[in-house]
């Protein structure tokens, strides 16, 4: 797991979201990244 995704996972837990809500958020980010043909790490530099 890359560092940006791990940080997002940690922050979702700190906020107190239910496990299912965390998974939904991460799935949306994965789909968005796949659609843009760039990794999440590349978004960070933009």
Question: Nearest CA to 9 among 38, 32, 34, 19?
Answer: 19
Note the pLDDT tens digit of each residue in 1-41.
Answer: 578 889 999 999 999 999 999 999 999 988 887 777 666 66
Q: Which residue has the tokens 């933009």?
A: 46
**Strand ranges (E), the chain:** none
Model-level pTM?
A: 0.66
Chain center to CA of 43: 11
């Amino acid at each position: 797991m890359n560092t940006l995704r791990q940080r997002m996972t940690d922050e979702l837990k700190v906020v107190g979201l239910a496990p299912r809500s965390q998974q939904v958020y991460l799935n949306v980010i994965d789909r968005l990244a796949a659609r843009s043909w760039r990794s999440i790490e590349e978004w960070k530099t933009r």
